[in-house]
Amino acid sequence: MGQGLSCGANQENEFYGAVKVGDIETVEALLKREPSLLYHTTVYDRLSALHIATANGQIEILGILLEKSSNPDVVNRHKQTPLMLAAMHGKISCVKKLIEAGANILMFDSLHGRTCLHYAAYYGHFDCLQAILSAAQSSHVAVSWGYARFVNIRDARGATPLHLASRQRRPECVHILLDNGALVCASTGGYGFPGSTSLHLAARGGSLDCIRKLLAWGADRLQRDASGRIPYVVALKYKHRACAALLNPSSAEPLVWPAPLKFISELNDEAKSLLEQALMEANREREKNILKGTSYALPSPSPVHSDSGLDDTISEASDAEVCCICFEQICTIEFQDCGHQMCAQCTLALCCHNKPNPTTAHVTPPLCPFCRSTIVRLVVAKIKDCDDADHEMDISSPKLRKIILDTKLRESDPRTLVPTKVPVLKIGEC
């Protein structure tokens, strides 16, 4: 009897070893000989073959196992599903495969009470994070729970995915979560210091990029945690001087992404990318003065090579392609329905506000500065070649967009994105 148990254990070990290294022939042979191996687990961690294949990124083995198993949500000792392990280890192909197989994105583990969304945010796997959020939009979760509620789901200690991403210095994940409706000023329960916001946690972690993004999306620098500390005090405590400089309430307020505007929330990805880049660049210009005297050095902008073929085309562009407000930037945004065009920086000046209080944001769309008609929608403009009026270059070209976005912002009033002689484009007016 003891020999039989020993043989069974050896067979299990051989099976798990084959799953781990992706030995398809051995896996299929062992499953054919003993189909029940699919439902066995390791002794201590209670890991199934699905967990092992997922954690090691063996997508072909995972496909074989999912075809033979009816439960993609089998749990281990800590109630973790294969999808959680895939998000933890950044195995994007496994994440997509499990979601296609019907894995439940709304399961919680028993270790920290976290979902797969928490794991992706904590470990900084933004591609897995985006895949899970995309699945949530088209699954029963969006109907039964609500998509916004899922994005702001809390773990056992009251931390949302945004809290975890901010604390772990994951700016890409922070951006994705904010773009999908994460509450920027939500407080934690027992995670970190009670009552901490994402800005408190980013200040503690010392992530300047996370702080930039949180401030640009309206994080309040004056919001206090349970002990009455503002993020500025937290940054000073952990000796993050550059972060403290940006969080100092006496420094200039950052420009804030105008999320409440309907036509902003409905922007296509290319137009949103142009405006978000303009917002970050405008705030960087302000930071140059704020960060003087700190140990942090701002990265120099990428050089624009004049010998590029696209640069030649841009330099020869007609006057009609240059923004008629600043006369320096190329028109990259078009207003609908009137069809007038402006550069991303000047467009942002129409829509942006400089106070992080959401109640001060514009709830009505601004007017076109040329014809005073209501802006219904913003789209990416087309650049016309002056030599051929019918020839158009798509601004969505990555190389062309880089050239446009790398153009240096002009020196202007720190509270405007356009010269102050054009009062209609002052920040906060529309």
- pLDDT digit string (tens) for 112-121? 999 999 999 9
For the chain, the structural domain boundaries read: 1-153, 154-251, 262-425
Question: Widest CA span of the chain, in angstroms?
Answer: 93
What fold is seen in the domain 262-425? Herpes Virus-1 (3.30.40)
- pLDDT surpasses 70 at 315: no
Domain 154-251 has CATH 1.25.40.20: yes
The amino acid present at 219, given as its one-letter code, is: A
pLDDT digits (tens, 9 = 90+) for 37-96: 999 999 999 999 999 999 999 999 999 999 988 799 999 999 999 999 999 999 999 999
Three-state secondary structure call for residue 383: strand
Number of alpha carbons in the 13 Å side-chain half-sphere of residue 99: 27
Residue-level pLDDT at 147: 93
Q: Three-class SS of residue 338?
A: coil
At 236, give phi and psi (nearest 5°): -65, -40
- Per CATH, 1-153 and 154-251 having the same topology is answered yes
3-state secondary structure of 149: helix
Residue 418: pLDDT above 60?
no
Query: CATH number of 1-153: 1.10.3720.10, 1.25.40.20, 3.40.50.1820, 2.40.10.10?
Result: 1.25.40.20
**What is the predicted pLDDT for the residue at 319?**
42
**Tens digits of residue pLDDT in 392-411:** 444 444 444 444 444 433 43
Give the total residue count for the chain: 430
